[in-house]
Amino acid sequence: MPPVIDTASDTFSVSGAPWSSGTECVAKYNFQTSNEQDLPFSKGDVLTIIGATRDPNWYRARNTVGREGTIPANYVQKREGVKSGGKLSLMPWFHGKITREQAERLLYPPETGLFLVRESTNYPGDYTLCVSCDGKVEHYRIIYHNGKLTIDEEEYFENLMQLVEHYTKDADGLCTRLIKPKLMEGTVAAQDEFSRSGWALNRKELKLLQTIGKGEFGDVMVGDYRGTKVAVKCIKNDATAQAFIAEASVMTQLRHNNLVQLLGVIVEERGSLYIVTEYMAKGSLVDYLRSRGRTVLGGDCLLKFSLDVCEAMEYLEANNFVHRDLAARNVLVSDDNIAKVSDFGLTKEASSTQDTAKLPVKWTSPEALREKRFSTKSDVWSYGILLWEIYSFGRVPYPRIPLKEVVPRVEKGYKMDAPDGCPPVVYDLMKQCWTLDPVVRPSFRMLREKLQHIRAKELYL
């Protein structure tokens, strides 16, 4: 008998844990049914819980194409945000700069096949593979040569992950094959964590179709995942991939219609990392503005983009996340003209500092540049610059001012003029965002309320 729907409650529990309506789940198994009330699914499908039933083992759910039905709870796992961002590691066996003696202490008591990798102390730029074998530790120099890594100058590898994977399968001249990694204290293997929290995708189901962007980290490609068009960041380098793992873990915790949505992560044994997100057909907002211009885009459209971004930032503000790199280049436009904030590479939980050498000077608030203090209020400053970009149709901020003069002039109170045709009420918001004292700047919530007022009263016309 099919379960009876209990509409009185939208919070229910599996194994004692409450699942509220809107909870995302990932299918652990295939579920086929001839019952019309049930919702069939395949392993790996993402389902959204929409209600409880009177049977505690069954729930109402919706799939990604909008079909609804009942599902068995023990066939799915709840998708959770990955919380251990800084501790996630693609290479939990990599211990960085430690000495030969420290490595030998870490590999004690001896256990054949126990291993770690460290930076070479004698040969800067090279690495050392340390392996416990028959009661003693062998140290193998990993030579970095012409962009590749090798131990014996016969087999060459793109990165450390490929090298470790090779010697895990075959000793190939080492004293033993690598059997058990000695994990660096406090790290969590990224692949395990993404699987545990329901974000690991199956590489076999991802087809890479064409490259749409190239960066120093790797390529951005259009792909197909189970019949859905997706965007894929393909990262091949050890250190870069490690930074992108942190970005992906932040994205698992964020869900809003104006944020680019993470669909999942693929960590390959051979060291490639794929971050799969929704596909945004119209590209970056800055390119969209420049290519369409004022003949195509009216004031209502510019205000809508401003509100889209503001709503995403209000959500980040409410959840205590600081973006730190808000700019029109990091906002993408969907096929149906929704602007969504992307590029969470620098996003951190609030109140942290970072190296300012790589910061985009024209978008970054004075206190963030001067004291490395990042907050929602430094994001508000950047939002003011982004508003200026929107209303100037993608011009570069501070036109005709040499880059080295921007900061001194801004710190003396200089503010850019309003872009041609910008409504005074919108320019007024920009200037409020550029208040030198961060405490006086409006919150994103206040900005969103003001933008909604401008739209309701049609003050942008």
- Residues making up the binding site for ATP: 233
Phi, psi of 182 (to 5 degrees): -90, 105
Which residues, at least 6 apart from 274, have a Cβ–Cβ distance to it below 8 Å? 201, 203, 206, 232, 233, 234, 235, 265, 266, 268
| Alpha helix segments (H runs only) across 258-350 | 285-296, 299-318
Are 145 and 125 in contact, with CB atoms under 8 Å apart?
A: no
Residue 200 is encoded by which pair of tokens? 């690991």
Determine which one of 325, 335, 417, 437 is catalytic: 325
State the Cα–Cα distance between residues 233 and 246, nearest whole angstrom.
14
- Can you tell me the distance from the alpha carbon of 163 to that of 42, in angstroms, rounded to the nearest whole number? 34
Binding residues: 233
**Residue 26 identity:** V
The tokens describing 410, both together, are 């801004």
Cα Rg of the chain, angstroms: 26
Reduced to 3 states, what is the DSSP secondary structure of residue 75?
helix
Chain centre to alpha carbon of residue 368: 22
Give CA–CA dist 83/80, Å, rounded: 9
Q: Is 136 helix (H, G, I), strand (E, B) or coil?
A: strand
The letter for the amino acid at 224 is D
**Residue 210 in 3-state DSSP?**
strand
Is 325 tagged catalytic? yes
Look-up of token digits 């087809």: 207
Locate 50 and state its tokens.
Answer: 């929409």
DSSP one-letter string for 247-280: HHHHHTT---TTBPPEEEEEE-TTS-EEEEEE--
What are the residue numbers of the active site? Answer: 325
